[in-house]
Structure 1
Amino acid sequence: MPGISPDIISHRLSVNPAVRPVRQKRRAYDPERYEAMKAEVDRLSSIRFIREVDYPTWLANVVMVRKPRKGWRMCVDYTNLNRACPKDSFPLPRIDQLVDATAGHALLSFMDAYSGYNQIFMHPEDQAHTSFITDRGLYCYKVMPFGLKNAGATYQRLVNHLFAPLIGSTMEVYVDDMLVKSRTADQHIPNLSAMFTILKQYKMRLNPTKCAFGVASGKFLGFMISQRGIEANPEKIQAILDMTIPKTVKDIQSLTGRVAALTRFISKATDRCAPFFKALKGTKRNITWTAECETAFSELKEYMGRAPLLSTPEHGDILVIYLSVSASAVSSVLIRLKDNAEHPVHYVSKAMQDAEVRYPDVEKLAFALVVSARRLRPYFQAHTIHVLTNQPLRQVLQKPETSGRLVKWAIELGEFDIHYKPRPAMRGQAVADFLSEFTEPQAPAATQLITEPNPSLSQDQTPTKNTLDLTQPLWTLFVDGSSNAQGCGAGIVLVSPDKVALEYALRFKFQASNNEAEYEALLAGLRLAKEMDARQIQIFSDSQLVVHQVNQDFTAKDASMTAYLQHARHLLATFHAHSIRQVPRSENSHADALARLASALEQGTGRHIHIEFLAQPSTQAPLICTIDHSPTWMDPILQFLQNQTLPADPAEARRVRHRSAQEGHYVLREIHEGICGNHSGARSLAHKAIRQGYFWPSLHTDAQTFTQKCDKCQRFANIPQLPAEPLTAMVSPWPFAQWGLDLIGPMPEGKGQVKYAVVAVDYFTKWAEAEALATITAARIESFVWQNIPILSPMARSKP
């Protein structure tokens, strides 16, 4: 086979010379593999793909892999060689863009090169690096073999160069997968002719068994392409439909991996797989397959049995996007409008992590739009996008004063042409899952209450669930907290079994976060229900954090949240039965309005609502004044101040005999300049006062201040770091009038056995003269002076 001319391209390895070459030891194989290896080596030698090599620096082993149908495939283990080669950053085309550019054409032709990699020659200097060992000898590749690092990038570089005039218009190429497309049947023959002309010019060969010409549909890069649009690969769909119920962690990982390969076709894929992800949590090898997992598995199979057909947008089309937010994920679908019908283009789904789950609802919707823009960036750049939403998404993103992340998102979305439109009536089955923008989790039935028949039940134990006894009175509590710049408050609505609603607004006289305000509302409501002698109570709150922490779905990590949670569980333990669940804010509007009223400024509201005030957080322990008259640590001090009586214990007496700052000044003066004073320093003065039994909190500071203001110390004390006599500068009257002479050494011995040096420096100009010496003698020094400063030296002027 001729192959591509090396003048056009050849594969270079660029092996890092700093990496030590590796010669692998020969592995042993069974006779069947040896026979297959011998036949493959003979075939490659006959077509001149390999040659024998002597003394290779790199040597790899052969790996025989069984083919799916029959026979063996010979591969070479280039693991060590690949580690020594740098990564080639030549870009590969995006598969999604190639598939979109191919769908919608009338006729397609699929081509595959015959041993595509082997049609590119190795660079002569790198051929020996591809050496491999067999039982018959050592061989190396003359052409680019499979398994080499950067081989795909080299092949993509070749096809981009060969088919540059055709790529994007009549042809698409991804490494060795080539496709010719035509909008009409009449154009297909000329398009194929142009492609074959290039193949003939560069002597590239095709594999006729893997080519299909002039077909209406076919498989390209794992997708089924036709004029109708893009369909999922039937083999991948069948792989999901044929799966049995997973029994191990590996089985669930296999299921989620197969779903990930088809996520473009699956509406709300993250929500559909949420039970599987929940089953994977933990370290158990075997999983617990719940009824929720079984339902999700059946629904997934049913959905994949009718996987949607995706459309491809054309130039100038306006695309529409629907957003949806669930309890744990954000999803979207990109829609193309054609013939007054909605055709899906791409489904996007992402699980929310950590803080993302606690975003406000509108911010979650904005987050869904940002995720869609990142995943579908080519569509957002090429088309005008209409976001269909009934939420004030545009106002939130255009005025993002309340959140720093909204500013970042608004800047990120600013490069796209995005318009916000109200949602019309849904017209297509493809967007049936996006009927509601916010999908709340299913709440438990109202008749399921958490009961704690044992009042001494530990707070750390998980309560049990029993059926509500409807013969007993049931109270209903709605709570909501509010925290803003104006203040903090809580709203409570307690409904009796007789349907009498009690409104209760509570304003805080302390600062609280929004979560703390939600907990305060719950605690206040429970206290109110307890005063009303409620035995069974069902609680509704729009705070996801409070509800899930009380139900032990979330863990309270913050110290404040832990204290509130313990207090809430303590109050809940006083009821015979209780339940708490999260409801949308729209269903908790009564308590929400009361909370906003309580947290607002104290102004006239036009409504007679009694507002009470909470002075301190519910978790703060009350202060208790003791009435115990037992002896305390203050008694000896009081006795000394009142009666000048010291304790009998000398150590205790020394601690009691503390002085005030005014009395301490007298003590310092007596110790510093009294009869026995010696005007000691501040540190010594403070230590002497302590040794005499005196102490007050500012003793050291007062001692330092006193010594700094002492007149005699300032006049006659020694000044630190002052020289013993005044410094005088050495003055030279004119250049070269006065020289300094010095000897240096011994130093490392140099040429001529010199290891000393004599240096002369002029004091006025700093001019330096130096000479190396082997020995230090008077004659050598005199010679240096006469040779280097013979005229300006004082000795030179005094010589007769």
Structure 2
Amino acid sequence: MRTPGTLSRPPLNNEATQLSDQVGAPRPPEDFDGQLERLVVLGRTWIGDCWYALLTLGGTCCSALVDTGSSATLVRPDVVKNKTVNFPTIVKLQSVTGGRAPMVGEAIVTLGLGRKSVRCPVWVANLEDCILGLDILGALDCVINTKRGTLTFPDGHVIQMWQQPPRPGCVTTHTITTLTAETTNSAATSGMPSNEPPTPPPTLPTAELHPPPTTVRPAAISHTQVTNTAPPNDSERVLAVKEVWQKNCDGLTPSEQSLLWQLLLEFKDCFSLSEDDVGRTDLIQHNIETGDAQPIRMRPRRLLLARQAAADKALQEMRRAGIIEPSTSPWAAPVVMDPKKQKEKWRFCVDFRPLNKVTKKDSYPLPRIDEALETVAGSFWYSSLDLRSGYWQVPLGPEARAKTAFITNGCLWQFQVLPFGLCNAPVTFERLMDRVLAGILRQECVVYLDDILVHGESFQASLKALRWVLERVAAAGLKLHPQKCSFMQREVTFLGHKLGGGGVSTMDEKVQTVKDWPTPSTVQDLKSFLGLASYYRKFVRGFSCIAAPLFRLLRKEVVFDWTEECHAAFTSLQKALVEAPILSPPDPTLPFILDTDASNAGAGAVLAQVTPERERVVAYHSRQFNKAERRCCVTRRELLAVVSAIQHFKYYLGGLHFTVRTDHSALQWLMSFREPEGQLARWIEELQVYDFAVVHRLGAHHGNADALSCRPCSTDGCSYCEKREAQEEERLQPDVKCAAVGPEGTPAGHGLTAVGATEWGCRQEEDVDIRPVLTWVGAQQRPAWGEDAFCFRATKGLWSIFQALRLQDGVLQRGWKVPATGETQWQVVVPRALRETVLQAMHGAPGSGHFGVTKTLRRLRQGFYWGQHRRDVEDYCRRCDSCTARKGPADRSHAQLQQFPAGCPMERVGIDVVGPFPHSERGNRYILTAMDYFTKWPEAYCLPNQEAETIVDALVGGGVQQIRGP
């Protein structure tokens, strides 16, 4: 009696073990003894492609040929390599060519087909394809529908089959020739010789299932006979889908592999098989709005011979694929052949820059990459889809086609689909993808141009979302690039980032690129490195501070000098990028902590969340200070760091209570300041909309706080941090470097040798703005702000920079830190009586060069200072007589070119004199040229000189009788 769900088969015997040695199977046991049985498996003839289905054998997925003409199921040895194989009688498979594939044995396996599974015996044979025979089909009660390509079970479950041609070299005629039923006697079984002649085993007749291929002679056809390529048959798409499925099966269970296969097979028409197999949507058309602009026609560019051949080949391929068509448009753009990374390959490009200049720009927004990455954070299953030539799947509007015309060697073509290089192409494609995926964006998938990422927290959720996306793609008429797609992966690459395990990290390939980057030797090399590094700046804590020496080399008029500081910054940035930290996704249920800090060069911030296990980083932020911000005091820079960080993370922090941690204690009471003014009031007003608390912690516990140098305010002044400024001044004083001073106290090298130290001191004492400051500096104490000891604006300015002033040989000087080098130079505070003299020496004195405002300011700041000196320099350069006399008008006007009409010969004659030349034998040095405006008839005469009398004699009396005076 047979147990339900199993198949029984009579035990089989094996009479030879040499066969197992040939196929690498294990040898049968020596005591194996069974009865020879006869099993007949009938062959069938296949016409065209064969039907295949997906099986699971003991946890291994494989494709099997569905053969109703086979009474048994046969599998390959590699499918059951870990199973126990019993050794049957000698069974041979013979093909029409006479070749034989011997049986290996028999195995008991758990066979799965769709949702059904059964434990049954199967034959093991050396075949290219497994064969699903009638024994399994009958046991599972399957109904085959060849019209729809389905297998239906009694419970209504349906699985999809697919068609493909038999593999080359496989056995396509499964006619079992022996399956011998020979009765053995005792002598034979005992090894004793027998006197009776052996009886030949009966065989079944063979049948030719596939006729020999018919040889077709090639026929030459003209190029006018070439039409669109024939559509690929269904088997080619199945093979392409199978290749993609096999590539993505790693890490999936057999049931997950089966579900993925059924889904991909259902949407096999969504995959492109070649570069010519491009989809075409009808949801949108790209239009080019140029307003009243006139058509722009450009001349074709001459291409090299190798590039011209590549261009011709590309034109033929695009014409065959329906990408371009002949044109009669008044527009024409040149063609450019751009070399690809592969050798001897070129990319066909059209220069649409003139067209883009007159095109009205589309303001449809592109998605933010950071928001897209934040959306998928927290998912564990990903499927990345990429469209095949996505732009080419968008048709052009009728009027837009003529504007995309391009000219080649003797031909004018125009695009029928959206070409690369148009300014509005990305937004049109993004608009299309938003329409296609409307309703499932963000929750189930994200899209950036032609890159689609389907994500989910579980396999079932991600597979369900993938089905929705494929349905939308198929309905829109789009096609995917199978080689660039990945399905149901635990880790994928998307938008230059690596997604996996619920987090986001940098790509290993680009990190390796940064690690192996050579030391920059030019500004352009440095820009390239910083451009790549800046893309991952949010993964590097304190990026602006680390890269500050490198960015300093990019400033104008700065010599490229690769110092040890620059090399240290370069290597530090490389190391920070190579580490590739992982960012955790934000969790709105957890409290946020914002750590901020500022230095002389920039501000940085870390957004984190506290979990029961640890404090995890959500994101990094850093920025550089501009020139004005670098001149702010410590407190203002620290407050600016808080403001910029909160503005950067406003999408996280808006509407939530969070904590700001800083190592600058002044920020604790700054938020409660009663009467803030100016910039401080504006910053505080911006922060009022957020709910946060400021917490101070020591710099030793604040990460990189020890590396930040906080200096006192030396220019604008700040009444909020005087105590901190005094402490910083004591630290800075021993390291001050003085500028060169002449023998009499005058800064050397500025052409002011006539003004000695004594005169500088006297003129400063006579100046009403500087006199009170000399008293303060001498007494090392300045009055309170509200006292009436001073009322002039210049005096107030010197009061605000009191900590940067000193008396040197009775001359008041101001310490100024050079932004480019960081060194401190001492400048003489110039009184009003000597400012004109200083300006003359800096700009108009011999050797000064009458430079412009920028260079004059640079020379002046090397040794002199007074309030609003920039305004005085600009005014002096503007009213300099020498500069005004040498400068021409800002815009020289030119008369328009005109034509001089002539109605008859000799009505108007143009003349010109050319020379002087070396003396001729007759003493002539000049040539008089004359041309009639009407007939364009030229004449030339030799002249000894270019005097008026000589020219008249040549024209009137020299034989030109046609020219007469009025």
- The answer to whether the 8 Å contact 1:170/1:181 transfers is yes
- C-alpha distance after superposition, 1:379-411 (max 9, x if no partner): 233654321135243542343623222222222
Tell me how far apart the structure 1 counterparts of residues 822 and 336 of structure 2 sit (CA, whole Å). Answer: 56
Given the alignment, which residue of 505, 509, 513 partners 1:239? 513
Given the alignment, which residue of 570, 579, 587 partners 1:297? 570
Tell me how far apart the structure 1 counterparts of residues 435 and 407 of structure 2 sit (CA, whole Å). Answer: 35
Amino acid at match of 2:747: Q
Does 1:164 find its partner at 2:438? yes
Does 1:214 find its partner at 2:488? yes
- The answer to whether the 8 Å contact 2:278/2:389 transfers is no
- The answer to whether the 8 Å contact 1:397/1:407 transfers is no
> Structure 2 length as normaliser, TM-score?
0.48
Amino acid at match of 1:432: G
How do 1:388-537 and structure 2 match up within 5 A? 388-389=661-662, 391-393=665-667, 395-399=669-673, 401-423=675-697, 432-434=703-705, 439=710, 446=734, 455-456=743-744, 458-460=746-748, 509-511=789-791, 516-517=798-799
- C-alpha distance after superposition, 1:255-292 (max 9, x if no partner): 332332221112221211222233334436x6112222
The CA deviation at 1:447 is: 8.3
Tell me how far apart the structure 2 counterparts of residues 78 and 47 of structure 1 sit (CA, whole Å). Answer: 22
Amino acid at match of 1:61: P
- The answer to whether the 8 Å contact 2:600/2:708 transfers is no
* Match of residue 112 from structure 1: 386
- The answer to whether the 8 Å contact 1:267/1:347 transfers is yes
The CA deviation at 1:435 is: 6.1
The CA deviation at 1:328 is: 2.4
Tell me how far apart the structure 1 counterparts of residues 379 and 549 of structure 2 sit (CA, whole Å). Answer: 40
Does 1:324 find its partner at 2:324? no
Does 1:12 find its partner at 2:292? no
Tell me how far apart the structure 2 counterparts of residues 162 and 315 of structure 1 sit (CA, whole Å). Answer: 30
Tell me how far apart the structure 1 counterparts of residues 318 and 445 of structure 2 sit (CA, whole Å). Answer: 32
Q: How has the CA–CA distance of structure 1 residues 562 and 68 changed in structure 2, closer, same or farther, with 3 Å as cutoff?
A: farther
1:165 alignment partner, SS class: coil
Amino acid at match of 2:790: F
Tell me how far apart the structure 1 counterparts of residues 599 and 805 of structure 2 sit (CA, whole Å). Answer: 28
Does 1:45 find its partner at 2:322? no
Given the alignment, which residue of 341, 346, 350 partners 1:72? 346
Amino acid at match of 2:338: V
Amino acid at match of 1:459: P
- C-alpha distance after superposition, 1:611-642 (max 9, x if no partner): xxxxxxx999xxxxxxxxxxxxxxxxxxxxxx
1:196 alignment partner, SS class: helix
The CA deviation at 1:95 is: 0.8
* Match of residue 142 from structure 1: 416
Given the alignment, which residue of 560, 566, 590 partners 1:287? 560
The CA deviation at 1:210 is: 0.7
Amino acid at match of 1:59: A
Does 1:257 find its partner at 2:531? yes
Does 1:387 find its partner at 2:660? yes
1:276 alignment partner, SS class: helix
* Match of residue 889 from structure 2: none
How do 1:620-659 and structure 2 match up within 5 A? none
How do 1:598-747 and structure 2 match up within 5 A? none
* Match of residue 640 from structure 2: 367
The CA deviation at 1:316 is: 3.0
The CA deviation at 1:45 is: 1.5
* Match of residue 223 from structure 1: 497
Does 1:155 find its partner at 2:443? no
- The answer to whether the 8 Å contact 2:533/2:577 transfers is no
Given the alignment, which residue of 186, 190, 198 partners 2:464? 190
Tell me how far apart the structure 1 counterparts of residues 409 and 293 of structure 2 sit (CA, whole Å). Answer: 27
Tell me how far apart the structure 1 counterparts of residues 278 and 533 of structure 2 sit (CA, whole Å). Answer: 43
Tell me how far apart the structure 2 counterparts of residues 229 and 548 of structure 1 sit (CA, whole Å). Answer: 41
Q: How has the CA–CA distance of structure 1 residues 521 and 273 changed in structure 2, closer, same or farther, with 3 Å as cutoff?
A: closer
Tell me how far apart the structure 2 counterparts of residues 451 and 144 of structure 1 sit (CA, whole Å). Answer: 64
- The answer to whether the 8 Å contact 2:379/2:457 transfers is yes
* Match of residue 545 from structure 2: 271
Q: How has the CA–CA distance of structure 1 residues 268 and 550 changed in structure 2, closer, same or farther, with 3 Å as cutoff?
A: closer
Given the alignment, which residue of 281, 299, 302 partners 1:25? 299
Q: How has the CA–CA distance of structure 1 residues 335 and 256 changed in structure 2, closer, same or farther, with 3 Å as cutoff?
A: same
Given the alignment, which residue of 580, 601, 610 partners 1:337? 610
- C-alpha distance after superposition, 1:359-386 (max 9, x if no partner): 3322222211221233333223365432
Does 1:311 find its partner at 2:584? yes
- The answer to whether the 8 Å contact 2:815/2:826 transfers is no
2:322 alignment partner, SS class: coil
Tell me how far apart the structure 2 counterparts of residues 561 and 185 of structure 1 sit (CA, whole Å). Answer: 80
Does 1:346 find its partner at 2:634? no
The CA deviation at 1:175 is: 0.9
Amino acid at match of 1:129: K
Amino acid at match of 1:39: K
- Structure number with greater CO (CA < 8 Å, separation at least 6) is 1
1:280 alignment partner, SS class: coil
> Structure 1 length as normaliser, TM-score?
0.58
* Match of residue 688 from structure 1: none
The CA deviation at 1:174 is: 0.8
The CA deviation at 1:189 is: 1.3
The CA deviation at 1:445 is: 10
Tell me how far apart the structure 1 counterparts of residues 290 and 828 of structure 2 sit (CA, whole Å). Answer: 52
The CA deviation at 1:293 is: 1.5
Higher helix share: 1
- The answer to whether the 8 Å contact 2:384/2:453 transfers is yes
Tell me how far apart the structure 2 counterparts of residues 451 and 75 of structure 1 sit (CA, whole Å). Answer: 58
Tell me how far apart the structure 2 counterparts of residues 378 and 104 of structure 1 sit (CA, whole Å). Answer: 18
Tell me how far apart the structure 2 counterparts of residues 435 and 140 of structure 1 sit (CA, whole Å). Answer: 63
* Match of residue 856 from structure 2: none
1:109 alignment partner, SS class: strand
1:75 alignment partner, SS class: strand
Amino acid at match of 1:233: M
The CA deviation at 1:547 is: 9.8
- C-alpha distance after superposition, 1:518-569 (max 9, x if no partner): 66567677689x9xxxxxxxxxx9x9858999996479799679999x99xx
Q: How has the CA–CA distance of structure 1 residues 493 and 389 changed in structure 2, closer, same or farther, with 3 Å as cutoff?
A: farther
Amino acid at match of 2:596: L
Tell me how far apart the structure 2 counterparts of residues 21 and 281 of structure 1 sit (CA, whole Å). Answer: 41
Q: Where do 5+ consecutive residues of structure 1 fail to align?
A: 463-486, 495-502, 531-540, 568-617, 621-800
Q: How has the CA–CA distance of structure 1 residues 188 and 299 changed in structure 2, closer, same or farther, with 3 Å as cutoff?
A: same
Tell me how far apart the structure 1 counterparts of residues 500 and 389 of structure 2 sit (CA, whole Å). Answer: 27
Q: How has the CA–CA distance of structure 1 residues 256 and 461 changed in structure 2, closer, same or farther, with 3 Å as cutoff?
A: farther
Tell me how far apart the structure 2 counterparts of residues 147 and 193 of structure 1 sit (CA, whole Å). Answer: 33
* Match of residue 723 from structure 2: none
